[in-house]
Structures are given as C-alpha cells and as structure tokens.
Amino acid sequence: MATTDDSTSTGTGATGPGETGDYSHAQILAILAGLMMGMFLGALDQTIVSTSIRTIADDLQGLSIQAWATTSYLITATITTPIYGKLGDLYGRKKLFLFAITVFIIGSALCSFAGSMTQLAVFRAFQGLGAGGLFTLVLAIIGDLVSPRERARYTGYFMAVFGTSSVLGPLVGGFFAGQDSILGVTGWRWVFLVNVPIGLAALVVVTRTLHLQKPSTVGRGKVRIDWWGAAALVVALVPVLTVAEQGRDWGWTSGRSITAYVVGALGLVAFILAERRMGDAALIPPKLFRIRAAVVTVAASVVVGVAMFGGIMLLPLYMQIVHGASPTESGLLMLPMVGGMMVASIGSGRIISRTGKVRVWPIIGSAMITVSLLLLSLTTADTALPLVMAAMFLLGLGLGQCMQPLLLTLQSAVPPTDIGVATSSATFFRQMGGTLGVAVLLSVLFGTVGGNIQTAFADASDDPVVAEALADPAFQETVAGVQDDSSVIETLEPALAHPIQVGFAESMDTVFLLSAGAGLLAFLILLMMPAVELRATSAAAAVRAAQAPQET
C-alpha cells in the first residue's frame, strides 16, 4: 500500500510530485514562494526589533528589563529548533510548518498589543515557539523535495531572502520606531503587526502549493517521543542562554550566574543520558556523532556561528558609534556584506550543482572569514568607509561559502529519514555558537571600552578643548555614561566625540581579532572534513525507494 499524502492535493493550485516522486523546476519555484515567506518572517524579525527596542522600552517604561524581550524569544526559538526537526521526521513537515507560522502570527499580534515590558517579554517567548520551526522546517522541506546536488541551484533564492531581510529589518524597524502613530496605532507596534499579513499570505501559499509524502512508519515499530530529552534540553539551555544575555549586568561570577552554570551543566548531563537511552528516537540521536562528516559539520557550525553572528550583530554597532550612522543608514551600509553572501552563495551553488564537489567551499569560505575579520581588526576611527566596506564584502563572500555547503554536506551524510534531525541540529548548534559568541564578544567590547576611551582622551589632552572638558566633572559623568547611551556622542563637538569613537574602535578591533580566531579554528576543523558525495535523489524519493520492498 502506498504512503498517503501529508495533505490532500486538491484545487487548481495544488503542486505535487509526478509519478516518479520528483518535482519539476516550475513546481519547486511555486513551493519556494510560500517557504521563502516563512523564512522571511523569521529573518526579518531578527533585525527589525533590534533597531526599535530602545523606543519600545521607553514607551513601555521598562528600559531596565528590555533585554528580556530578546532573551525570552531567543530561549524558546532555540529550544524548539531540534524538537521541530525530530517531529517533522516522524509526522511530516507541512502541518508542522503551518503550525509554526500560525503560532508566529499569533505571537506577533500579541506583541503589538503589549502594555508593559513584562507582557512583551512573555509574548515574545510565545512568538519564539513558532520561530524555532521556520528556518529548520524550510531547509528540511527543501531537502525532501530536491536532491543535494540540485538543491544548490536554489541557494540564491534563500540568500536573497536572508540578505533582503538583513537590510530591510533596520530600515523598517527604524522607520516604524520613528513614527508617533500609523493608522491610529503607535508606530513601534507595527514592528510586530507587519508580520501578520506576511504570515497569512505564507499560510495561503503553503497550503495551496506544498504537498509532501507523509513519513511511513513501515518497519519503524512503535514511534517514541523523546519527552525526557526535551525537558532536559530546557533545563540545560534556559540558564545558559539567560546568563549569556544577562551576564554583563549580573556579573559573570555573581551568585546568579554561577547558579545558572551549575543548573545548565546538570541539565546537559541529563540530556546526554536521555539521548543515549532513547537511541534513534532521541531529539539529537547519538548515532549522528558517529558520522565523521556530521561531527565536523556540527563543530564547524558552532564556530562559524560565533564569527557570523559576531559580524552581523557588531558591524551595525560599529557603523553607528564610530562612523555616526543612523540605524537606518547602518542597515544600508551592511549591503556589501549581504552582496558578498549572495554572490558567493549563488556562484558556489551553481558550481556545486554541476560538479557535485562541496568539500572545498567551506574551507575557502572560513579562510576568507578569517582574513576579512583580521582586516577589520586593523581599522581605526579614521579608517575610510570604502576600506571597511571592502573587508565586509570579503566577510560576506566567506559566509556565503560556508552556510549552504555545510548544510548540504550534513544532509547528504545522514540517512534520508534523519534529514530533519540533521538540519535542525546544524541550525541549533550554529545558533548556540552565535548566541554564546555574541555574549562573550559584547562582554569584551564593553569590558574594555571604558579604559580605551580614557586612554584616547589622555592622548588628546594636548587639545585645549579636550583639556577644558576633562576638567569639568559633569563632562566626565557624560563620558562614563556613554556605554549606556551612545546617542550623547552626537551632541558633542568633534574634538570631544573623536576620543570616544577611538576608544570604541579599539575595543571593536579586539572583538574582530577574537572573531578572526574563531574563523581560523573553523578553517582548521573543516580541513578534517571527509569528501562527501552529494545524493542525486531527493530525501523523499530515497525514502520511498527504501520502503518500496516492505510495502504491499
């Protein structure tokens, strides 16, 4: 008996596989429209909120706890990533994807009605429950539909979505935050409301175009759910992610931080024991780590996450503080990096599609990441923007050669039935590397900037304007508070603003140098990557071929 469809293929808009189980190029493009809308939701939300959060916190009178709006979203999105991957392998991805979009839409609508910062943090946590499935399920669904070798042809579409959201996010967020009201609704609330129509459109398109084969349970026996592993993962990650976001305010060696470390470590031990007990039914099966290509890919994903998120999160800060760009302008100044990512991703994708060779690309990409970050570590407050943007373009070229090839390698190295777990694992470990990396890098930045600013003012004390200002206690208080409110730099005359920019630039150099070290580590890890032959069939077709002899 043949397996049943994940959804019934009805209506003129239905797009399903042909008799061979393969999809045509036109069918895949139709399906991609809905998938990219879902991915756009998640990618846009990562950047649109960052430029408007201060305005939101001021309006809700909760600036002191504004970080929790980000932390709560990050925790739930990260924890649910491997859960979506495993459930997708067991029960099919279309319904899960529709569920994730629905939760994200509801969460976005709730956020727009938040009356306090505490409410916003709770609603953002709910929104994150949906966000955890957006990226993971999109990439896994493409793995079902298209062979790894052919999949490289479609890389450019996803990089275009990612790049567009990276630029549009700060622009749209800055615009909404700057409006008192739009159609009678407070401007910043549209940061969340804008997700609703996009999400509804994605629901319609995905429902009409995406028709997947439901995973067969033939030969699987009783399906087991790894509830203990999921619970242990929560216990392990919540304290770690919380201290990663709050550690600078709490103090990394404070009682609260140490308690978080201990609880997280106990949760990690419990998670490992639960996964060993569940075996193949685990959220992150231990057998994954018996595959050399998977181990190398996961390790590289963690380290690349440090360099990737470090660059994406810190470069806009560098542009705003050191070069005086507005949040909107800093979004536009990120275009060279986004352009580099798209060029490298599309170019490498086409070559991979023709040759089937994938190993060399992340090795070259990690080398480019290392060189670009080393170049950025040499910049000063007076470095011309074109030189900075050239290094950013090189960074984009490196990232574009790491993201998709690493995922293609992992998806080809694991059995087709585990493609969801493999995809979610790569995404999960990259997010963890990025989250922890950004926490460490921001701590280094703000831990050194005070001393660097003082040194810069001492070096500039020969200037009478600077010497006079340093003698004023009120000015010294202003400088001391610049780490909490960098907007005061714009109110100072150039002679006084420049030493502050120099101090920030020197601290940024240290951060970029550490990120370059992460890039070098990724390069060394990727040298151990074995050659992996990309499958010529999609995961769904491979599963059907394997199940055919067992079905009657």
- Whether the CB-CB separation of 229 and 282 falls below 8 Å is answered with yes
Final residue before a domain boundary, out of 223, 250, 271: 223
- Roughly how many angstroms between the first and final C-alpha of the chain, as a whole number? 5
- Whether the CB-CB separation of 320 and 505 falls below 8 Å is answered with no
CA–chain centroid gap for 259, Å, is: 27
Task: Give the separation between CA 290 and CA 371, rounded to whole angstroms.
Answer: 32
- Whether the CB-CB separation of 363 and 527 falls below 8 Å is answered with yes
At 265 the pLDDT is 92
At 60 the pLDDT is 81
Q: CA-CA-CA-CA torsion for 97, 101, 106, 112, nearest 10 degrees?
A: 150
**What are the DSSP calls for 249-273, one per residue?**
HH-TTSHHHHHHHHHHHHHHHHHHH
Strand partners, 181: 186
Are residue 305 and residue 392 in the same domain, yes or no? yes
Are residue 273 and residue 301 in the same domain, yes or no? no
- Whether the CB-CB separation of 190 and 176 falls below 8 Å is answered with yes
Per-residue pLDDT of the chain (552 residues; tens, 9 = 90+): 334 444 434 444 445 555 444 667 777 777 888 888 888 888 787 778 776 776 787 788 765 666 677 778 878 888 888 888 888 877 888 889 999 999 999 999 999 998 888 899 899 999 989 988 887 888 788 877 777 767 766 766 776 677 677 667 777 877 787 788 888 888 889 989 988 998 898 888 888 887 766 655 444 555 677 788 888 888 888 888 788 767 777 887 888 889 989 999 999 999 899 888 888 777 788 888 888 888 898 889 888 888 777 666 778 778 878 888 776 677 778 888 888 888 888 888 788 878 878 889 999 999 999 999 999 999 888 888 899 999 999 998 998 888 778 878 887 888 877 777 787 788 788 878 877 787 788 778 877 888 888 888 888 888 888 787 777 777 777 777 666 666 677 777 888 888 888 888 898 899 999 999 999 999 999 999 988 777 666 555 665 665 555 554
User: 265 in a domain, yes or no?
Assistant: yes
Are residue 41 and residue 167 in the same domain, yes or no? yes
Cα distances from 160 to residues 42, 312, 340, in angstroms, run 14, 16, 11
User: 68 in a domain, yes or no?
Assistant: yes
User: 298 in a domain, yes or no?
Assistant: yes
User: 308 in a domain, yes or no?
Assistant: yes
**CB-based contacts of 456, cutoff 8 Å, min separation 6:** 498, 499, 500, 502, 503, 506
User: 138 in a domain, yes or no?
Assistant: yes
- Provide the b/e sequence for 103-113 (b: ≥16 CB within 10 Å): bbbbbbbbbbe
Q: What is the CATH number of the domain that holds 18?
A: 1.20.1250.20
At 550 the pLDDT is 52
Are residue 326 and residue 474 in the same domain, yes or no? no
Are residue 474 and residue 440 in the same domain, yes or no? no
Are residue 270 and residue 301 in the same domain, yes or no? no
User: 544 in a domain, yes or no?
Assistant: no
At 452 the pLDDT is 86
And the tokens for 318? 């560098």
User: 139 in a domain, yes or no?
Assistant: yes
**CB-based contacts of 523, cutoff 8 Å, min separation 6:** 363, 366, 367, 370
Are residue 101 and residue 209 in the same domain, yes or no? yes
The closest of 313, 298, 522, 509 to 398, measured between CA atoms, is 522
Are residue 418 and residue 500 in the same domain, yes or no? no
And the tokens for 532? 């992996």
Backbone dihedral region of 215: left (phi > 0), alpha (psi from -120 to 50 degrees) or beta? beta
Final residue before a domain boundary, out of 200, 223, 246: 223
Are residue 470 and residue 440 in the same domain, yes or no? no
User: 545 in a domain, yes or no?
Assistant: no
Could you tell me the residue range of the domain that residue 514 belongs to?
291-449+508-537
**What are the DSSP calls for 213-261, one per residue?**
BPPP-TTT-S----HHHHHHHHHHHHHHHHHHHHHHHH-TTSHHHHHHH
Are residue 149 and residue 87 in the same domain, yes or no? yes
The DSSP output letter for 185 is: E
At 127 the pLDDT is 93
Final residue before a domain boundary, out of 194, 223, 252: 223
How many CA within 13 A on the CB side of residue 132?
A: 28
Are residue 301 and residue 361 in the same domain, yes or no? yes
Query: How many domains are contained in the chain?
Result: 4
Cα distances from 481 to residues 478, 487, 488, 500, in angstroms, run 5, 10, 9, 11
Q: At what angle do helices 385-400 and 403-413 cross, to 10 degrees?
A: 10
Are residue 75 and residue 152 in the same domain, yes or no? yes
